[in-house]
Amino acid sequence: MKNIDSYTHLRGESLFVDDIITRKDTLYGLVFDSPKAHGKIISVNYSKAEAVEGVIKIFNYKDIKGQNQIGGIIPDEPLWAEHEVHFQGMPIAFIVAESEAIAKQARALIEIDIKELPVITTAKEAKEKGSFINEPRSFSLGNTDNAFEDCKYIFSGNSFSNGQEHLYLETQGAYAIPMENGNIKVTSSTQGPTSVQKMVAQVLGVAMHKIEVDVIRLGGGFGGKEDQATPWAVMAAVAVQHLKKPVKFILNRHDDLRMTGKRHPYDSTFKIGLDEDLNILAYDVEFLQNSGAAADLSPAIAERTLFHATNSYYIPNVSSIVHSCKTNLPPNTAFRGFGGPQGMFVIESAIAEAANNLGIDKRIIQERNLISENDEFPYGQIATKVEMENTWNTAIEKFDLEKTEEEIEQFNKDNKRFKKGVSLMPITFGISFTNTPMNHARALIHIYQDGSVGVSTGAVEMGQSVNTKMLQVAHQTLGISPDKVKLETTNTTRVANTSPTAASATADLNGKAVQKACKSLRKRLLGVASNILMINADDLKFANDCIYQKGKKTDLTWEKVIQKAMLNRVALTENAHYATPEIHFDKTKEKGHPFAYHVYGTAITQVTVDCMRGTYEIDSVKIVHDFGKSMNLGIDIGQVEGALAQGIGWMTMEEIAYDKNGRLLSNTLSSYKVPDVFSAAKKVEVIPLETKGNKMAIKKSKAVGEPPLMYGIGAYFAIQQAVKAFNPKHKIKFHSPFTPEKVLMSLYEE
Ligand code: MTE
Ligand code: LUZ
Ligand code: MOS
């Protein structure tokens, strides 16, 4: 089934926040943000700005009736700065004017005096100065101290991965309108409607029921709108509370880039120990997460780094620790993979370092240590239904890796200027919010009296096509045609207390709720049909908009059953709640069974480096991915391709740069390069490995949103191979992104 949004997307008819027809008295907001990364606010003078004609009011922390606090996990983040600023781009005030242009004009006239304080931009520096968000977390398995003594080979090193800009096509924004009795309706471009509702209520000092949050769809989120869509919606709502007029606030790209957090850069050190047969016996790793100036989701992201620190390998002795380091950058936040990719890059670095020193192919160590059935993850979960070796071996075989390797060897012998490299990248990703209480969802289904169906869930559509999947679940469970089903907007008055659309678990959680609600409706309606036909309900089934008796079509249609149900006063609405069973985690022991299941896969990446210019091309990425039993292969392969491009971008060309003063240098699309159709990968092939699936996955179709991003890590190591082929003296480093500039330096270093 095609994505149900594709028709309106292509015609430009899909609605986003900015497309809502505004009320005629609508006002426009704009943030005044800190020009300095750290300091004390001595004074702010708004008088010139306030005097601009068309400026209605400039809000600051003094206008807040509730709490000036929007921190989700830790209450350490004011909506508007009070006496101190902690990063460039930190919101200080909110200008509301008759137009955006007027607000912009006024913003330039605000005068601020800041007494500057020392600025920290790197995690290392923060650690040296003892600047942390919270206490460190650590996981351990076995005993690394003893195990290192048994190792024949021990290697250690550093690994750094940089941040990444989400670059959702639709920038952050919200439109808030006053309703009666002080109620406010906020249309927000958020992955977390409930967090927006909760924070609006908290800052306004009102009950949550006074705030309705509606989400039509997002023009991309990628984690950037899990927590960081909230401030803009809250600011618009504060203005509505005071002015009793609608306020619209859409960030322009420049403001969005400067004010919002990104993927966390990680600075890590590792020590890896192997025995004679290249079994990894021990792994010791310390992660320094550059969290930025407030917690945001950093503690949860740090946690997921630990969960994925050993990627797809079984290592019997592991000791890992992560420090969330407080720096003077915008608070970094969720980004596809949620700290997992950062952890996985380090273990791949450690294996590459070992292989390089031993003069063998990285693949040999990888292959020797792949996780298999009943192995224990460092967090205590026992691996079951493992498909790791299956994807690995299938990839090697189906894509004829041996032939590729021979061809590359020959190519590298024959060519001086161009060198090729190849790498294998296995992935293992746990599905569920690592915070167990978040793993639940609800659905509300209405069957209207003409037989058409409206489905509301807590899922936010952001391009991943979750609405299409929800529609599939509903129409298949009810046995009616897809065009009878409509997906409603995500709205806190219809589905409340939702977890954000995140952790790749949205289709599973909300899909299970839809399925449950539809099954209840189906059962009830089969009772109605049974009365009409005077046939035992057990022999009846809905399919193709009709009732079937033991596989034979009857004359009774879906519509007729619905009409009869109406006459008989049978409820045509159902609400269902789903909470993932079996999962648990004990944070005091750092052990448990946090994931419903794992997703596996293997990518083979081939690159060609131009050794004169340092530029490179990704020739091909060939992937064998564990989809379980995909319920929509078109959508799922689209997710693999999109995530892969994002992963390659993170590893190769997307370079976030701040100067020493915490100013974002890569603040335009001319100074921040994302993969385009030419530079992502010339060829992507995905072989869907149809596996048993998992009963915890919706229709046994495994979650797919985030895991394939990590295939992109393969690009880093393939480029490294090619560089080594040209310059054997190159001392390999782990410092992503591997930009053409760094490649050039590596090609010619002595
Ligand atoms: N795909 C598109 N097109 N746009 C997005 O913003 N977000 C990704 C992924 N795929 C995203 C996307 C992220 S970060 C997550 S967590 C999942 O989608 C969330 O949706 P799911 O839980 O339905 O997979
Ligand atoms: N968000 C979250 C996530 O709050 N918890 C998670 O475990 C998670 N995982 C991936 C992406 N977002
Ligand atoms: Mo995705 S990082 O869970 O929004």
pLDDT digits (tens, 9 = 90+) for 334-362: 999 999 999 999 999 999 999 999 999 99
User: Exposure string (b/e) for 263-284, b if CB count within 10 Å is 16 or more?
Assistant: bbbbbbebbbbbeeebbbbbbb
Q: How confident is the model at residue 693 (pLDDT cuts 50, 70, 90)?
A: confident
Nearest ligand by distance to the CA of 504 = 1
Mutate which of 165, 338, 434 for ligand 3? The one with the most ligand atoms within 8 Å of its CB, which is 338
Give residue 677's pLDDT: 85
> Do residues 389 and 375 make contact, with C-beta atoms less than 8 angstroms apart?
no
By the 10 Å C-beta count (0-12 exposed, 13-18 middle, 19+ buried), 729 is classed as exposed
CA of 626 to the centre of ligand 1 (A): 17
In a mutational test of the pocket of ligand 2, which residue from 137, 194, 226, 304 has the highest number of ligand atoms less than 8 Å from its CB? Answer: 304
Q: Distance (Å, rounded) from C-alpha 600 to C-alpha 626?
A: 5
Alpha carbon of residue 641 to chain centroid: 15
The confidence band for 498, taking pLDDT boundaries of 50, 70 and 90, is very high
End-to-end CA distance of the chain: 55
Q: Ligand 3 centroid to 444 CA: how many Å?
A: 24
**The pLDDT of residue 257:** 98
Residue 193 pLDDT > 90: yes
At 420-466, the pLDDT tens digits run 999 999 999 999 999 999 999 999 999 999 999 999 999 999 999 99
Q: Quick check: CB of 462 below 6 Å from ligand 1?
A: yes
CB of 632 within 6 A of ligand 1: the answer is no
Across the range 380-389, mean pLDDT stands at: 97
Total count of residues recorded for the chain: 750
Distance CA 53, CA 51 (A): 6
At 692, the pLDDT band (50, 70, 90 cuts) reads confident
Pocket test for ligand 3, best of 706, 709, 710 (most atoms within 8 A of CB): 706
Assess whether the C-beta atom of 433 lies below 6 angstroms from ligand 2.
yes
**Cβ of 306 below 6 Å from ligand 2:** no
Helix (H) or strand (E) run with residue 52 in it: none
Cα 338 to ligand 2 centre (Å): 6
Ligand nearest to the CA of 168: 1
Q: Atom 8 of ligand 2 has which residue's CA nearest to it?
A: 503
Q: Is the CB of 227 under 6 A from ligand 3?
A: no
* Distance from Cα 319 to the centre of ligand 1, integer Å: 31
Nearest ligand, CA of residue 191? 3
Q: How far apart are CA 743 and CA 421, in angstroms?
A: 13
Q: What integer is the mean pLDDT of 398-418?
A: 98
- Work out the angle between the directed axes of helices 193-204 and 230-243 (0-180°, nearest 10): 40
Per-residue pLDDT, 80:
99
Portion of the chain with pLDDT greater than 90, in percent: 99
**Ligand 2: residue whose CA is nearest its atom 3:** 503
> pLDDT (tens digit, 9 = 90+) per residue, 576-635?
999 999 999 999 999 999 999 999 999 999 999 999 999 999 999 999 999 999 999 999
CA 706 – ligand 1 centroid, Å: 7
Q: Let me know: does 684 contact 644? Beta carbons within 8 Å.
A: yes
Of all protein residues, the one whose alpha carbon is nearest to atom 11 of ligand 2 is 503
Cα–ligand 3 centroid distance for 334 (angstroms): 6
Predicted pLDDT of residue 395: 98
CB 337 less than 6 A from any atom of ligand 1: no
**501 CB within 6 A, ligand 1:** yes
Say how many Å lie between the CA of residue 603 and the centre of ligand 1. 20
The residues annotated with a catalytic role in the active site are 706
**Cβ burial, residue 207 (10 Å; 0-12/13-18/19+):** exposed
Q: Give the residue whose CA is nearest to atom 5 of ligand 2.
A: 433
Distance CA 93, CA 32 (A): 5
**Cα 579 to ligand 3 centre (Å):** 19
Nearest residue by C-alpha to atom 6 in ligand 2: 433
What tens digit of pLDDT does each residue of 266-291 get?
Answer: 999 999 999 999 999 999 999 999 99
| Ligand 1 mutation target, pool 504, 514, 635, most atoms within 8 A of CB | 504
- Residue having the nearest C-alpha atom to atom 1 of ligand 1: 464
Q: 574 with 520: CB under 8 angstroms? A: yes
Find the mean pLDDT for residues 159-180. Answer: 98
Pick the atom of ligand 1 nearest to 335's CA.
Answer: 14
Ligand 1, closest atom to CA 502? 16
pLDDT at 500 over 90: yes
For 27, other C-beta atoms within 10 Å of its C-beta total 25
Residue 196 pLDDT: 98
Alpha-carbon distance 558 to 560, whole Å? 6
pLDDT for the residue numbered 678: 83
Helices (H) and strands (E) in the chain, counts: 19, 30
Report whether residue 3 contacts ligand 1, using a CB cutoff of 6 Å: no
501 lines ligand 2 (CB under 6 A): no
Ligand 3 contacts CB of residue 503 (under 6 A):
yes
The partner residues of 510 in beta bridges, in order of sequence, read: none
Closest atom, ligand 3, to C-alpha of 334: 2
How far is CA 339 from its chain centroid?
Answer: 10
Cα(340) to centroid(ligand 2), Å: 10
| pLDDT over 90 (residue 750) | no
Nearest CA to ligand 2 atom 9: 503
Query: How much distance in Å is there from the Cα of 502 to the middle of ligand 1?
Result: 7
CA 739 to chain centre: 24
How open is the CA angle 169-173-178, to the nearest 5 degrees?
150
Any atom of ligand 3 within 6 Å of the Cβ of 303: no
Q: How far apart are CA 702 and CA 688, in angstroms?
A: 12
Q: What is the pLDDT of residue 176?
A: 98
Q: pLDDT category, 690, cuts 50, 70, 90?
A: confident
Residue 184 bridge partners (DSSP): 178, 211
Determine whether the shortest distance from the Cβ of 701 to ligand 1 is under 6 A.
no
- Ligand 3 pocket residue status of 460, Cβ below 6 Å: no
Q: What is the mean pLDDT of residues 203-211?
A: 98
Going by pLDDT thresholds of 50, 70 and 90, the confidence category of residue 679 is: confident
CB of 334 within 6 A of ligand 2: the answer is yes
* CB atoms closer than 10 angstroms to residue 677: 8
Q: What is the pLDDT of residues 141-158, one digit of tens each?
A: 999 999 999 999 999 999
Does the pTM surpass 0.75? The reply is yes
Widest CA span in the chain:
87
125 C-alpha to ligand 3 centroid (Å): 28
Instruction: Assess whether the C-beta atom of 223 lies below 6 angstroms from ligand 3.
Output: yes
Q: Tell me the average pLDDT of the chain.
A: 98
Assess whether the C-beta atom of 432 lies below 6 angstroms from ligand 2: no
Q: Which pLDDT band holds residue 641 (cuts at 50, 70, 90)?
A: very high
Residues 548-588: tens digit of each pLDDT: 999 999 999 999 999 999 999 999 999 999 999 999 999 99
